[in-house]
Amino acid sequence: MPRTYEAILKGDRLTWIGEPPDRQKPTRVQVTILEQVAPARDRGRKMADALAHLARCDAFSEIEDPVAWQRSVRRERPLPGREA
């Protein structure tokens, strides 16, 4: 089973983070480049911009009853002991 190791890629070199693989001979690897995650502040701003865009273009104007729509989408069921 393949194991996953973390490393920093700089140029054509990998610097292992934590325990490196126990290999003395050349070993074939596949490297997946992880994109930098945007700071929460930037993600929040992008979300606000996206929601503002949806509001401007009336993206959900055809939904007559938003609460009923949300329940059907989420497949909500009444909780035990509560009025439906």
Q: What residues contact 17, with CB distance under 8 A and at least 6 apart?
A: 5, 6, 7, 8
Span 39-72, pLDDT tens digits: 888 889 999 999 999 999 999 899 999 999 988 8
pTM (two decimals): 0.40
Phi and psi, residue 71, nearest 5°? -60, -40
Span 4-13, pLDDT tens digits: 899 999 999 9
